[in-house]
Structure 1
Amino acid sequence: MLETYSGTADPSLARVVFLWAVSRGLQAVRMDVSTAFLQAPIKDAVWLRLPSNLPVEVYPGLHVGVFIRIQKAVYGLKDAPKVYTSYFKKKVRSLGWIEISESILVRKNRKGEPVALLVMHVDDLFLFSPSADEDVKGIQGLFDNDKPEKMDNGELHLYVGMSIRMRLGEILLDQSSYIQGMSEGVSEKARKPLTEKDLLLPEEKDVDLSLQAEQQKNVGYLGWAVKTQPSLSFLFSHLSRSNSHLSRSSVLATEKALWHARETARPLRLSSVSSIPCLLVWRDASYELAKKEGRLGIEIQLVDESEIANLEKINEDNTVFWLSKKLARKLGSTTSAELLAMHDAVKSSWSIAHLVRKLWGKMLPVVVVTDLQPLMFQLSSKQCKSEPRMQGELEYVLENLAELGAKVKWVQSGSMRADRQTKFLHCS
């Protein structure tokens, strides 16, 4: 079987390692591997029949119809990305770089502590190090690279489709230019505030499948903006559902969402934490009794443990994960929806917790936040008396909370950060 999949770093985990690098005060450099695929040899025998339009005068001895064996992972081969990324990781291991998560590599000191970081996006490398020039030279000794770009000088730089501004103690992930551009083509009618009425799914009689391309283009724009804008996550999730219920009103809603993004967008700020951070997990759910349907929302931050004493005053800095998702199963109550939100929240916490332990060297404290007293009662009593069919979900949550060493804290509904992932909030 031919392996073609070549992974990239999970965006939420990339934000975690960026925060670690900022907290360490590391230097930062971006670099491209030149014609990356052509630098990776292939083991399998791949033969190519030369095409009829080949300029044979450039290659003496070759002529139309000749078969040649390919020596490198040339562009166009389906497994070229996989071949290259595997080859790159194997080669840089000789320099001490070890992969700790998909496409995230670290270099350790003699004590076994991570001291430098390398994030791969195929041939695009983002390197953080106390001695960046030395690490760059090491990689240049193995691969041909374009001229490195210093990233920690406070200026705006481009990295895999987003702008990054890095300065002492913080890194700003900014998509303002992209968001401005994606909203320029919206109609005058769409340049008005988005309302809850705009988000209603159209009636069957209004469906117009000819609008599919326009609808999907707008939703695609929104999906890319969500990578730095947690407040747009609900809109993206909700409007994606209308891709099968296309109408003039649904297209207008996506245009209004793009204009809303333009008006509300701001950089995502990752600021230095002083010690082992605390994993702060906000989770919430909404519930429609008439349809027996729910939606969950999750936001996860890495904050200083001292901030936990006053949850209401914690700002949005260091938000590394967010999710808005329609629950697939029918539910009997708000508490059931909240319990499923808790289930997904603790499940989503593990990958971040494991990565933090590898970087900071210790298991971090975890705090999960809820605004529902009935759920607090279920957690303390360890029973779902009103809905016994949810007992298995409760036991899963309790087991994972215990393994994470997590504490559950209650806040008033008005202070629940994840609320914006379950419904449209005009102030987001």
Structure 2
Amino acid sequence: YKCYDSIKDKIIVSRNVRFCEDESGFKNCGESQHNNDYSFLFKFLSQCDDEMHDGDDSNTGGNDSRMAKDIITYHRRNRQQEVGEEEHHETIDLQPTQSGENLRRSTRNVRQPNRFVSYETFTPSHRARINAIHSHFEPSTFNEASKYIEWKNAMLEELDALRKAQTWEIQDLPIGKKTIGCKWVYKVKTKSDGSLERYKARLVAKGYTQEYGIDYEETFAPVARMTTVRTLIALASVKNWNIYQMDVKNAFLNGDLMEEVYMEVPPGLSVPQRKVLRLKKALYGLKQAPKAWFDRFNSVISDYGFHSCLTDTALFVKYTTAGIIILLLYVDDMIITGSDKEGIKECKKLLQETFEMKDLGFLTYFLGIEVAYSTRGYFLSQTKFAAEIIAKSGITDDKVTETPEAVGSKMKIDDGVPLANPTPYRQLVGSLMYLSITRPDIAHAVHTVSQFQHAPSTVHMGAVLRIIRYIKGTINKGVFMSSSSSLNLIAYTDADWGGDPNDRHSTTGFCVFLGESLISWKCKKQQKVSLSSTEAEYRAMASTTMEIVWLRQMLLDMGIKIEEPTDLCCDNKSSIYIAKNQTFHERTKHIEMDCHYVREEFLKKTIKLPYVSSEFQLADFFTKPLCSPRFNFLLDKLSVIAP
């Protein structure tokens, strides 16, 4: 700042200035000195700027005597100086610089830091799609949505659809009956290229107020497992099948409601006073709504020649003369793929005739998973969801970590001070668990922090924030499904013996590949205390064997029969010897059931038990925190990449 001293008639340049806006600038010297005319001050400052920037000495010899005054610059005092030391000031040198001197420019390549989100490596179409998904605004309340004409029209469209489906009847509330509440949920629907398709407003019932035996009974409805989703995409990548996505409009309205349920009048609907709505259709949010919809869909799709698989009830397969059609259902979203292209078109046409559906084209965005396709394969990521987690955590600085966990960290239940409000902790952990669908690199860290949700502390919250800082630095990472891999399964299993300091239970970790594509992984604490490392490893081997048997059967349902035994790689020779040994002894009596199961599958040639050294044991990634070099080495082997 350039400050004018009216007493000394000088201009002072200083960084530290305090503005007193309630006082006059010339209260001590009187206003008659300048007659309320401060134009000289602006002229003086402009001429000083010319001198400092142009360095022209010819301007210093003007008629105005004020131009000869010294310009004083105050510098911030060094922190090591004493408090009573006199402030140092010096006069600015206004000598002109040499115009012919060339400034040296750096020749280093400028690139964006890794901690910032960059879409430059994506294709233009996928980059536009992701940017469009991130840019849309979605209100959270009715009052907020009612301010925009787009969301008003969306709510009117939803109410019209509910009236056409005869979802309710307007009645008086019978004596002894209770009503349940409702709310609006808003979502922006996008096209396959990421551009705006429509604004979707959905009326949802508050089913958490329902009472069992009064307004609901059976509630279970199967949905597709995420392992099934990854396996289907990996198979389609190898087979070079196109994957299509379809969305059912108001899917739950297709299910009939048998119970007597009354609901409050939703905001925006005009009905007579003291009237309520008796539901006739299964509205979103009701506890029995998913089951009613799935039963209806299962009946319809079975009439078209599809059959539900025993390995995953939400997986439907149909064999035709031209090949196979595979349909996977997750509530009201479905993906369709297979080798029979004409059969897929016919299937989509039949579904659109039965239900009100929307064909979304090729699979690009499914359940929050962003899907990018190239000739090399499919890439699955959750960039948008990861950005939402970072925003929810409140982290605004640029600090990132190289690993999600500190090496050797062993958290206990009583570490730190209990959180006064554990809800944010639980919300973040729940979000991280869903993010691990495409991020196996955070599986063990999320497994650890999820064990303290009943009573989280400041130490546990710090571990969650460390995971989020790691995600912030690797936000673009995801799982890559190669199109050039084989269709053979290979699994790795490992265990951390007594690794939990709270109860000394061991941790099971395994991962299963379909060729080069990682399709299944797990990090789970064992239910019993193991008395030896061999026992812990063998229990992990039994869990991995069950996963292999399930995956082999599911691939068989999809038309892929694996003839060769699946390699189950283990780094514990004692466990391998026990599986191959025909004789039981006292040391294996307490794990006899696991021994029988693993040995039975080994004799049936479902699995093989090759030994792998601990250096190349990929399942080690899911059992304990690792140092940065080891972490990055195994992460590269798992095909977790940032495009």
Query: Shorter-chain TM-score: what band?
Result: 0.7 to 0.9
Deviation of the 1:354 alpha carbon = 0.9
* Greater relative contact order (CA < 8 Å, ≥ 6 in sequence): 1
Corresponding residue number in structure 2 for 1:222? 432
Amino acid at match of 2:456: L
Corresponding residue number in structure 2 for 1:137? 349
Amino acid at match of 2:437: K
Cα distance in 1 for residues equivalent to 2:597 and 2:579 = 11
Amino acid at match of 2:572: L
Decide whether aligned partners of structure 1 residues 127 and 286 sit closer, same or farther in structure 2, where only a CA change above 3 A counts: same
Q: 1:209-231 CA deviation, whole Å, 9 max, x = no partner?
A: 41412221221221111101112
Deviation of the 1:249 alpha carbon = 2.0
Q: 1:25-59 CA deviation, whole Å, 9 max, x = no partner?
A: 222221211111223334x36464886997347xx
Aligned 1:113-192 pairs, distance under 5 A: 115-129=324-338, 130-131=341-342, 132-146=344-358, 148-151=359-362, 157-168=364-375, 170-184=377-391, 185-186=394-395, 188=397, 191-192=400-401
Maintained 8 Å contact 1:50/1:64: no
Q: TM-score, with normalisation over the residues of structure 2?
A: 0.57
Amino acid at match of 2:224: A
Maintained 8 Å contact 2:390/2:468: yes
Maintained 8 Å contact 2:265/2:271: no
Q: TM-score, with normalisation over the residues of structure 1?
A: 0.84
Decide whether aligned partners of structure 1 residues 207 and 403 sit closer, same or farther in structure 2, where only a CA change above 3 A counts: farther
Maintained 8 Å contact 2:415/2:459: no
Decide whether aligned partners of structure 1 residues 45 and 217 sit closer, same or farther in structure 2, where only a CA change above 3 A counts: closer
Deviation of the 1:118 alpha carbon = 1.3
Q: 1:307-366 CA deviation, whole Å, 9 max, x = no partner?
A: xxxxxxxxxx41111111122322221111101100111112222111111112524431
Structure 1 counterpart of 2:599, from 394, 398, 412: 398
Maintained 8 Å contact 1:199/1:253: no
Count of paired positions: 400
Deviation of the 1:423 alpha carbon = 0.7
Deviation of the 1:5 alpha carbon = 1.5
Maintained 8 Å contact 1:151/1:165: no
Q: Give ranges in structure 2 of 5+ residues lacking alignment.
A: 1-212, 636-643
Cα distance in 2 for residues equivalent to 1:67 and 1:325 = 46
Corresponding residue number in structure 1 for 2:10? none
Corresponding residue number in structure 2 for 1:332? 531
* 1:379 correspondence with 2:589: no
Cα distance in 2 for residues equivalent to 1:78 and 1:404 = 44
Q: CA RMSD in A?
A: 2.9
Amino acid at match of 2:471: A
Corresponding residue number in structure 2 for 1:27? 242
Maintained 8 Å contact 1:202/1:247: no
Cα distance in 1 for residues equivalent to 2:400 and 2:389 = 13
Maintained 8 Å contact 2:568/2:609: yes
Cα distance in 1 for residues equivalent to 2:328 and 2:246 = 11
Deviation of the 1:166 alpha carbon = 2.7
Corresponding residue number in structure 1 for 2:510? 298
Decide whether aligned partners of structure 1 residues 248 and 190 sit closer, same or farther in structure 2, where only a CA change above 3 A counts: farther
Corresponding residue number in structure 2 for 1:310? none
Decide whether aligned partners of structure 1 residues 98 and 419 sit closer, same or farther in structure 2, where only a CA change above 3 A counts: same
Maintained 8 Å contact 1:21/1:128: yes
Q: 1:53-111 CA deviation, whole Å, 9 max, x = no partner?
A: 97347xxxxx855886x543233432121111111121122322322222111221148
Cα distance in 2 for residues equivalent to 1:378 and 1:151 = 49
Amino acid at match of 1:136: K
Cα distance in 2 for residues equivalent to 1:76 and 1:141 = 26
Secondary structure of 2:497 counterpart: strand
Maintained 8 Å contact 1:214/1:251: no
Corresponding residue number in structure 2 for 1:308? none
Structure 2 counterpart of 1:96, from 305, 328, 331: 305
Cα distance in 1 for residues equivalent to 2:308 and 2:395 = 43
Q: What fraction of aligned residue pairs are identical, expressed as a percent?
A: 20
Amino acid at match of 1:166: Y
Structure 2 counterpart of 1:106, from 310, 317, 325: 317
Corresponding residue number in structure 2 for 1:312? none
Corresponding residue number in structure 1 for 2:87? none
Decide whether aligned partners of structure 1 residues 166 and 107 sit closer, same or farther in structure 2, where only a CA change above 3 A counts: farther
* 1:6 correspondence with 2:221: yes
- Higher percent of residues as helix: 1
Deviation of the 1:252 alpha carbon = 1.2
Cα distance in 2 for residues equivalent to 1:244 and 1:55 = 43
Maintained 8 Å contact 1:198/1:250: no
Amino acid at match of 1:424: P
Q: 1:133-181 CA deviation, whole Å, 9 max, x = no partner?
A: 43322211111113x22226xxxx2211111113446221111232233
Amino acid at match of 1:175: Q
Corresponding residue number in structure 2 for 1:313? none
Amino acid at match of 1:318: S
Cα distance in 1 for residues equivalent to 2:265 and 2:384 = 43
Deviation of the 1:416 alpha carbon = 0.6
Amino acid at match of 1:325: K
Amino acid at match of 2:577: F
Cα distance in 1 for residues equivalent to 2:442 and 2:281 = 42
Amino acid at match of 2:379: L
Corresponding residue number in structure 2 for 1:213? 423
Corresponding residue number in structure 1 for 2:522? 323
Q: 1:271-328 CA deviation, whole Å, 9 max, x = no partner?
A: 23676x222111001124897532110101111xxxxxxxxxxxxx411111111223
Secondary structure of 2:256 counterpart: coil
Cα distance in 1 for residues equivalent to 2:405 and 2:282 = 51
Deviation of the 1:4 alpha carbon = 1.3
Structure 1 counterpart of 2:453, from 243, 253, 266: 243
Q: Give ranges in structure 1 of 5+ residues lacking alignment.
A: 58-62, 304-316
Q: Which moved more, 1:48-57 or 1:294-303?
A: 48-57
Decide whether aligned partners of structure 1 residues 381 and 116 sit closer, same or farther in structure 2, where only a CA change above 3 A counts: same
Maintained 8 Å contact 1:21/1:117: no
Q: Which moved more, 1:284-293 or 1:253-262?
A: 284-293
Cα distance in 2 for residues equivalent to 1:404 and 1:212 = 49
Amino acid at match of 2:225: D
Q: Which moved more, 1:234-243 or 1:385-394?
A: 385-394
Secondary structure of 2:233 counterpart: helix
Cα distance in 2 for residues equivalent to 1:294 and 1:49 = 49
